[in-house]
Amino acid sequence: MAMKEIFKTCEETPDPIPTKVTGQIPKWLSGSLLRNSPGKFEQGDEKYRHWFDGMALIHKFHIQNGDVSYQSKFLRSDAYVQGLEQKRIVMSEFGTTAYPDPCKSIFSRMFSYFTPMSRPRTDNGNVHLMQVGEEYYAHTELPYIRKVDPRTLDSGKLKVDYQKYVAVNGATAHAQIDVDGTVYNMGTTYGKDGGYSLIKIPLPDKGEVENPLQKASIIAKIPQKYGAFPNYFHSFAMTENYFVFVEQPFFLNVLKIMAGPLFGKGVDWAFQFHKEIPTQFHVIEKATGKVWTTKYTADAMMTFHHINAYEDDGHLVMDLCAFAKMDAVFQFYLHNLHTWSKEEADKKLGDTDNYIARFVLPLDVSQDGPDDENLVKLSDTLASAIRKQDSIYCVPEILTDANFDLPRVNEKYNGRKYRYIYAVDVYRTPFRLVKVDAETKENKYWTEENCYAAEPVFVEAPNPTSEDDGVVLSAVVRVGKGKSTCFLLVLDGKTFTELGRAELSQPNKVPMQTHGIYVANM
């Protein structure tokens, strides 16, 4: 199966290597595309089970004067370093359980089995990179972030724990950066007084860059409804004046998390989706941290990735990639990816009921009025909202029902009214890129035989004349004859046609990647 070649262990490339450029990469494009990905799927003779388990590999495509170089280094996390030293999996990951050290005494191993929460939590930051000022940190949804030098990709010197500064047990992999550089994130606290916290991370003062969370504080908290079943979430929405937290009926069973190691189960075992429970949207004021009491609801759904949100004439418009069921979580086991035929992969990955949804929350709602009145007064959307019992029941407009995810927009339009979405179709093979026009509902595609495209990143051109005036970057893995090769693809942001590509000459260097950021002039 072709996908086996893009979900397997790759060696790091610690020193920059040149690429072969074909076509024309704009001369104004000067900077680095930093990417994160799982890149090592075994420790010694022990193998990880899920794509999300692999050890973090940080990538850098450096672009200057039309040329591109590539390098990569494994994140020197404790999970990675100790795994190499002990030649085994030492910390449990999303879908893989770590077993007690065979060198320990029988008593110590029994203690590890029956006190699973005493085991160290993984710090394998293999999902995204978070920018705080001029510093960059690899992270997942657990409380640890680790500093990465964007020039050398060195890591390991600074590991920061959210829990030492704010009362959360973890935070999302998709922090939001406001126009003034302030970073916001949503965290979860487990336990009796558990809930969901909005975290504010101001820019550090000079001399404090070694501690990005020193001034972090919780500015809003939403109580947890279901005790030992906290809500799972991967991202959240931000506009100029508000945040939106989507409380979806997608839960983590804490008891299963605790018991998992006893049964050889990873965190994935603890996920539960309850389609009988409605989704609720919580609106939080940015200036005050006030959580609105207005209850906005929708049919049961789940989401990993918010696309964008903005305010428009008394409404809050929020776009996200939605699923009607949670099958997507379980499709990316390595056994599946390594053994499925193309037909099986297309059937399994396509059976996720995925769509891009636009919800519109009316912000100024009176208590009086008929229940069947559509409270959405915008003329450019089919989304609706009506009074229903004690809530405002929202029905989304479907911008496209194609199976797209990993969305990005022109970052200058984050939190503002916008038009274009760039995404990748990871639910059919090979993975193709798409540009969605949210106004006309037209899609443009880039695809090539045996090529698997990663998350697209839009880079705006100097002196732009339109929202899509720029380029779209994607690291593409091509498979064939038992090996993989990679190239950096550069598309025209307007036409979505290829301008150029930079190909690595060495095979099996780059696996399928998750998320990343573009850093100009670096």
The CA angle 383-436-302, to the nearest 5 degrees, is 55
The rounded distance, in Å, linking the Cα atoms of 396 and 279 is: 12
Show Cβ contacts of residue 175 under 8 Å, excluding neighbours closer than 6 positions: 130, 183, 184, 185, 201
Residue 317 CB: number of other CB atoms within 10 A?
25
State the DSSP string of 199-213: EEEPPPPTT-TT-TT
Return the H-helix or E-strand segment holding 348. helix 342-350
Q: Bin 412: left if φ > 0, else alpha if -120 < ψ < 50, else beta.
A: alpha
CA 360 to chain centre: 23
Instruction: For residue 136, give the nearest of 82, 171, 177, 164 by alpha carbon.
Output: 177
Asked if 385 and 372 count as a contact pair (C-beta separation under 8 A), the reply is no
59 is in an annotated binding site: no
338 is in an annotated binding site: no
- Write the single-letter amino acid at 461: A
The rounded distance, in Å, linking the Cα atoms of 391 and 275 is: 18
Partnered with residue 127 across adjacent β-strands are: none
Asked if 443 and 491 count as a contact pair (C-beta separation under 8 A), the reply is no
Return the H-helix or E-strand segment holding 190. none
Return the H-helix or E-strand segment holding 475. strand 470-480
Question: In Å, how far are 358, 409, 436 from 400, measured between CA atoms?
Answer: 10, 16, 8
Structure token pair of residue 236: 């959240």
Asked if 371 and 389 count as a contact pair (C-beta separation under 8 A), the reply is no
- Please say whether the dihedral angle defined by the alpha carbons of residues 166, 120, 334 and 264, taken in this order, is positive or negative: negative
Q: In what order do the strands lie in the sheet with 397-400?
A: 302-312, 315-323, 354-362, 397-400
CA 336 to chain centre: 21
Residue 151 CB: number of other CB atoms within 10 A?
11
CA 229 to chain centre: 22
Residue 461 CB: number of other CB atoms within 10 A?
17
Residue numbers belonging to the annotated binding site for Fe cation: 174, 234, 305, 515
Q: Binding site membership: which residues? A: 174, 234, 305, 515
